[in-house]
Amino acid sequence: MVDILHRVGVVAPLDDVYTAVATPEGIAAWWTTDTVGKSEVGETLALRFGEAGGFDLEVRELDPAGHVRWRVVEGPAEWIGTDIDWRLDRRGDYTIVLFGHEGWREPVEFMHHCSTKWATFLLSLKDYAETGRGRPAPDDVKISDWH
Amino acid sequence: MVDILHRVGVVAPLDDVYTAVATPEGIAAWWTTDTVGKSEVGETLALRFGEAGGFDLEVRELDPAGHVRWRVVEGPAEWIGTDIDWRLDRRGDYTIVLFGHEGWREPVEFMHHCSTKWATFLLSLKDYAETGRGRPAPDDVKISDWH
């Protein structure tokens, strides 16, 4: 089992970052505009990226104090069964985001790609929470032939 | 042991990307302007980031066909003894960069930070190889209180 790990610091209140991660409206502003579903524990969020497909995420944890966790239940084979974990913490002027995409079975090339791509989405989340403007798909940062 | 993994695709010849990774002049254009040393197997590159310190990298592998590998011999405690590995491959219009910062002892918070920061430097490398202009330190992308 291998994990993708990231950390960014967002100059915004923890509540704002939490709302950006924990609600479909928030996610649509930094990950993909095509995000629907109900953000309650046990419910599912559906994210789509046009022809590239997308993911269904089952909500496992929602704690406004600073913890969100999803299980990937539909999407690319490598993603199914993995968990995406968010921990938020205040430090000085920053809300620190500790991110993990956990439980990949193998460190395949697609995992390398997703690691870099996650970084661009975390910076999109940071921009959105700080300035009101992120770069969700289809306007996301393109990093390679795999987009 | 845990690894940081990334993948970007650069619209530039493999030779250009190799030179950007394998020479002090190249590294200075996307990672830190303060890069000195001799890029030969067994020699050391010294990278500095002002008051934040820096790294000494022993060159372990230099293959213009597409492989560069360094051992970190000086720097933050968590980095010492880790390896940084670059594999380049042509695919269509792209030079694909498969990157690994391998052999972290623990997935500490600083590793999360470095993972995100590496993504920004890989995109800086991509920009440099494609446009002639990267974002090396001290003009690097700031991602948090840890810069």
Total tally of structural domains belonging to chain B: 1
Question: Residue A102: inside a domain, yes or no?
Answer: yes
Kindly tell me if the per-residue pLDDT of A1 is higher than 80. no
Report if pTM > 0.90: yes
Question: Residue B147: inside a domain, yes or no?
Answer: no
Question: Residue B32: inside a domain, yes or no?
Answer: yes
Give A12 to chain B, closest Cα distance, Å.
12
Question: Residue A13: inside a domain, yes or no?
Answer: yes
Question: Residue B45: inside a domain, yes or no?
Answer: yes
CB B29 within 8 A of CB B23: no
Cross-chain residue pair A96–B7, CB shorter than 8 Å:
no
pLDDT in tens, B6-52: 999 999 999 999 999 999 999 999 999 999 999 999 999 999 999 88
Residues of B in contact with A6 (CB under 8 A): 112, 115-116, 119
Question: Residue B106: inside a domain, yes or no?
Answer: yes
Question: Residue B8: inside a domain, yes or no?
Answer: yes
Q: Tell me the ipTM for this assembly.
A: 0.96
Q: What is the CATH number of the domain that holds A29?
A: 3.30.530.20
pLDDT in tens, B118-141: 999 999 999 999 999 999 999 999
pLDDT in tens, B53-70: 999 999 999 999 999 999
* Domain span holding position A124: 2-131
Determine the residue among B98, B141, B143, B147 to mutate to test chain A binding: the one whose Cβ has the most chain A Cβ atoms within 10 Å.
Answer: B143
pLDDT in tens, A71-112: 999 999 999 999 999 999 999 999 999 999 999 999 999 999
Which one of B5, B7, B112 has the shortest CB-CB distance to A144? B7
> Among residues B107, B49, B116, which one has the least CA distance to residue B82?
B107
Determine the residue among A2, A5, A85 to mutate to test chain B binding: the one whose Cβ has the most chain B Cβ atoms within 10 Å.
Answer: A5
Question: Residue B141: inside a domain, yes or no?
Answer: no
Kindly tell me if the per-residue pLDDT of A140 is higher than 90. yes
